[in-house]
Structure 1
């Protein structure tokens, strides 16, 4: 992230000053220099000791940081409460999901007034039954997440997984649906996913490595037996790969997927023969990623072989190679194929062209496609819950920066879409027409055009408006231009909200991803800086009031751009930030490390080490005026360990030469996704908004 035009005057802004009592209690972390040597290069880390999880010094320091952050937000409590009240007045306390079908039964998720968690309702005509009550399951736990639930083919049993810590380590349980009895047998240490075989007694699940938390083993469990006797079906020994499982839409095959960032391999087990050995579909090859689905006529395969944006091929039986398959949708330099759903009588294809998603429906031989038209310029489109192989309709989800999420049903025969469900706000004053969304294109340092999705309230003076610019830019992830009911509180106070679709994501296809990773990673950071500069230059915001936000790998983005262009941003929100790049990627005992080499590089290799070191946020903190910063994390985060942001904030504060506050907020009962429960989630958002508004001098 970066910009220009602000420099030192930025930090004399009065709202940056916290009260004298808070100032006198600014945490100062002790320093215990640790020498870290690699490739004959020495780094000194004074805060290496912070990775001593559960030690008294670490817990004491976190408590000190949390108290400092609390003192700041205590002063803003009225503003925080104002946001929470607005959320409550705007969002239905009994909000529901669209009804969806599983094996001929209809379900719907519903929020319960004054409760933190949802209920899953089974709808049978006019009769409604509580199928799952997350509130009951979460009782007595500070954190709760229902990972997955999977109903047996005869609808008599349900297997479900739960995480009660926030570490994304799930325990699977089983329940009889007729009487609600939960069986004694449990399966700990899983990724949460569950797939039933067709015999109603066999389930497949994925085990995690207890140290690295890598999903690496697939087991078969037979109901009524001890999980200690479960049979290992597949083990992935290559630490670059992780494993996940699915079932084909026609219910014929259970698929075991072994995937790295650059290659994949799928194994199959017939769902009617769960005891049989898994067979390999196509052996893994370097730089070959593929996905397979089954139809009664054969196999459909999405593949990137000689096709960076992917192509769709077909084979009547398990093919010897991709070359032996029939090409149904050829590769295109302009269109990235995101997903294909194979129904009994037609295909549905989701693709992206110049950032715009499209869903098209056509025949099984991939001809006569009809594109479902969209009403807005900036929107997000995805397949919704399509569980019925024999369906004559396609469910898809539509949203935009101004339009709440909507589920449509596209009728393949009539070629028409019908609105099936739409989230609505209880705030009668809300009108999408009061807001403007558009897509603009910034110019990068190297001349590339960077797409930016923006939204703001109609009638504001853009040149005087504060800007919140969001970014991610890693793993090929495309940040959706989706509606947010809470974000309206910022827009109504005159903020412009924007998403910079920078390199490292796949907004513009595979090449957009490839030119934002490994030894081209710095493009991600300069793109974000250029996007902020462009918006200021073109009058889309006040150049002195630019704020930035990102989480996880987007937190790395926040750290990098803050070091590169601290003068550009008035404030930064970094959520669960991955900032200690070199130390983390050299520690193979930390979750995810080895599997990340294909995304960031392997610092055990000297060239990769020096390139990664050139942008590692923690390693580049130096004496200068940093913008106001709110850095958040969860103590049980399994993706980015708590000590990365903890060390970072200590180093930032020591080197801060300005008066802007640097805040650290660690939720002790949370993981990578923040705290659980509706009230906790909204409180986190309200505090972020209060931070932004207080920096802007907005106090109501």
Structure 2
């Protein structure tokens, strides 16, 4: 519905992947419990005979980087290879991978055990909650032992009863299941495979899907006949995953420029050659990127051109023969808008410096300048999203750091539109949780949403906005004897250095911890792009929690959990608040006996990897081990180079270091620039060779400089996936291997790994 630039784990099929912040974390959330049945745990140093391998030493080729009269010497700049084919670079990366495998070989059995635990919690043969669209139920199916999903549908029986809570019939008399697309078949012969969009035409006859076989997030789009699977026309090459149907004969899609900035939106007529496609709009300002979304009514497409502070919208009327873009909201610096459509009105969420938590307005289709406020701006409530139905609107908000969903009835046709009144708020039971909108039927009174918490498995609910009744459509089965009552979730607050209260969400098993400072802990943080790291459920974490770990998410500034100001207070010249908030959370947890310095491990990915690098430079004494996944650690050098993907569009996030004030501020925290001769904790760093968001060379340079300068003998490991991108491997079980490897490293660093036979 809305054009989303941010959000954790939004499926690419329902959100604009090209507009997700490029240097962001993929939050890997915990899943159910399996009792630990492996070898006895013993306390010992993290080293063994296996760990005595000699680490690679990157050659030093000094390069002077000069800006504002300041000279930085980068000895490892040579590791950056835009073609990713330089033999010296690839040799170095392979040497690092070999060293890491050698050092970790003594805990390979533990890694395999953890992997088996995580996988054993998964019901491998399963289907998601079907959604009725037109004359079909659509859903995805997973098969035992298979890495990827099948996209399926069944006909709605002609004699099916009409109910509010629609149920797909099954059994021998039910309509046959038809597999539209089997990703397992398509993935054969590819080390990496991902479908970023799967869009069914309005008549249900055709499907357009976007395919990435490298992990570089540059897609090829195919159109197939939904019944036969036969290709229709030629594929569209080199585009983003933003595609939408404009009627049954046209596709609208977005392409990128040389620095991978989505800059052009195109109209494609089925059966024609891509070279004949019509460019509907070209965004020439390199601070702005394009995104594409369809209204829930499917009558309009919306093209948003947005930077970090400003966005404006065009619309396209799908029903019109002349398919052209029309301005909906003007381009005004500091005003950010997203839109959808219902009936005779456009609905717009608008943010500005005055209304920083957004207001919700509506305007008639025939007079977009005539606006009516539906929900006014409130200082304590952030409007995050909304979802439209024929007669209702569901508003997703945040208050006191927690999501809330409120349903309102829209005025009947012909009634004047005005401020929304009498909304029905949906109740949630956990002290902290995650709620995300799911695709719903536009002509229904039922809103579908996804709910989970740190101890509540992913659940899909249908909520009737007229009666206020919720029906659980599906809850993920968690195998291995999982019992939510064995776990405790808490919400605590830590005082930052300036007195700001920082929320934290805590998970632990009530029969495995002492809460006397002796328990091991994994503390996760992100804190960028206004992303909300809500405490959703994640299978993998329980392999630590069931071993007595406490798992904590620090909801630090730079994220969006506490509203827009929370984000503003952790970006640009306020970025150091993100790091000091995280340190304050760690100190609070230690001071309140949740853990000790000797047992505290930390984890962050992407921009959260920058967080890891910054706090390790600032307070290396505070942590026992750190995992920095695909970390954005060479921030200053990257943001000085507009030829690198995403740099220009992110000057409003980090600052433009071509300006002296931002240069010296970024230099004060950029991890690579602040590595120094001091003792560091045990560190694992990961990268993806094809990563378009954080170039593999950033973590590679970071590790090389750490090896050169650090004064300790603690572990420093670097693992680069040579056939993947920002989000690691693509298969659902392959991804679990990364979790198992990470947890084996943490247990090894803490001396909690079973002793290996030497």
TM-score range normalised by the length of the shorter chain: over 0.9
Which of 299, 303, 306 matches 1:252? 299
- Structure 1 position 172 matched with structure 2 position 225: no
**In structure 2, the residue corresponding to 1:544 is in which secondary structure?**
helix
Q: Any idea what the Cα deviations from partners look like across 1:397-430, whole Å, max 9, x if unmatched?
A: 1100000011111112211111111101122x21
Deviates more, 1:159-168 or 1:250-259: 250-259
Q: Which moved more, 1:153-162 or 1:95-104?
A: 95-104
**Residues 361 and 653 (structure 1), Cα distance of their counterparts in 2 relative to 1, 3 Å cut:** same
> Shift of residue 295 of structure 1?
1.4
CA gap 1:174/1:628 in 2 versus in 1, 3 angstroms: same
User: Please, which of 38, 43, 48 is the counterpart of residue 67 of structure 2?
Assistant: 38
Q: State the shift of 1:22 in Å.
A: 4.2
Give the alignment of 1:411-490 within 5 angstroms.
Answer: 411-427=464-480, 429-459=481-511, 460-462=513-515, 463-490=517-544
Q: SS at the partner of 2:394?
A: strand
1:133-282 map, 5 Å: 133-198=182-247, 200-209=248-257, 211-273=258-320, 275-282=322-329
* Match of residue 114 from structure 1: 145
The alpha-carbon deviation at position 18 of structure 1 amounts to 4.6
Cα displacement string for residues 15-64 of structure 1 (whole angstroms, at most 9, x for unaligned residues): 33253x64342111100000110000000000000012311110110011
Other-structure match for 1:8: none
CA distance in 1, matches of 2:660, 2:435: 42
Work out the CA distance in 2 between the residues paired with 1:318 and 1:374: 40
Which residue of the partner structure matches residue 358 of structure 1? 404
Distance 1:597 1:167 in 2: 22
Cα distance between partner residues in 1 of 2:48 and 2:70: 40
CA distance in 2, matches of 1:389, 1:675: 35
Range with greater deviation from structure 2 (123-132 or 156-165):
123-132
Residue of structure 2 in register with 1:699 after alignment? 753
Does the CA contact (< 8 Å) of 2:597 and 2:624 recur in 1?
no
Aligned residues, how many? 681
CA contact (8 A) 1:18 1:661 kept: no
Q: Does the CA contact (< 8 Å) of 2:197 and 2:241 recur in 1? A: yes
1:288 aligns with 2:335: yes
Q: Which residue of 1 aligns with 2:608?
A: 554
> For residues 274 and 251 of structure 1, what CA distance do their matches in structure 2 show?
15
State the secondary structure of the residue aligned to 2:45. helix
Provide the secondary structure at the position in 2 that maps to 1:679.
Answer: helix
1:344 pairs with one of 390, 399, 424: 390
Per the TM alignment, residue 343 of structure 1 is displaced from its structure 2 partner at its CA by: 1.0
Q: Which residue of 2 aligns with 1:6?
A: none
Structure 1 residues 108 and 276, CA gap change in structure 2 (3 angstroms): closer
- 1:533 match: secondary structure: helix
- Partners in 2 of 1:638 and 1:218 — Cα distance? 20
Question: Counterpart of 1:630?
Answer: 684
Question: 1:320 offset after TM fit, Å?
Answer: 5.8
1:410 is matched with which residue?
Answer: 463
Unpaired segments of 5 or more residues in structure 2? 1-42, 156-168, 411-417
Instruction: For 1:513 and 1:334, locate their aligned partners in 2 and report how far apart those are by CA, in whole Å.
Output: 14
Closer, same or farther: CA 160–40 of 1 in aligned 2, 3 Å: same
C-alpha distance in structure 2 between counterparts of 1:456 and 1:236, whole Å: 48
Q: Matched residues in 2 for 1:114 and 1:266: separation?
A: 44
Q: How much has 1:179 moved relative to structure 2?
A: 1.7
Whole-Å separation in 2 of the counterparts to 1:18 and 1:518 = 44
CA distance, structure 2, for counterparts of residue 95 and residue 522 of structure 1? 45
After the TM superposition, which of the residue ranges 295-304 and 684-693 deviates more from structure 2? 295-304
Aligned pairs (5 A) from 1:508-657: 508-657=562-711
SS at match of 2:597: coil
SS in 2 for 1:622: coil
CA pair 392-663 structure 1, distance change in 2 beyond 3 A: same
TM-score (norm 2): 0.88
CA RMSD of aligned residues (A): 1.3
What SS class does the counterpart of residue 746 from structure 2 fall into?
helix
Match of 1:390 in 2: 443
8 Å CA contact retained: 2:505, 2:535 = yes
Contact 2:151 2:182 in 1 (8 A): yes
Residue 330 (str. 1) matches residue 384 (str. 2): no
Q: Distance in 2 between matches of 1:231 and 1:670?
A: 33
Q: Do residues 297 (structure 1) and 344 (structure 2) align?
A: yes
Post-superposition shift, 1:483?
Answer: 0.8
> In the TM superposition, what whole-angstrom CA distance separates every residue of 1:125-167 from its partner, at most 9, and x where no partner exists?
5221212110100000000001101111111111111000110
Shift of 1:593: 0.4
Structure 1 residue 591: Cα displacement = 0.5
Alignment CA distance shift 1:622-1:319 (3 Å): farther
Indicate the residue corresponding to 2:712 in structure 1: 658
TM-score, scaled relative to structure 1: 0.96
How many angstroms does 1:542 deviate by? 2.8
> 2: distance between equivalents of 1:276 and 1:113?
45
Distance 1:486 1:317, change over 3 A: same
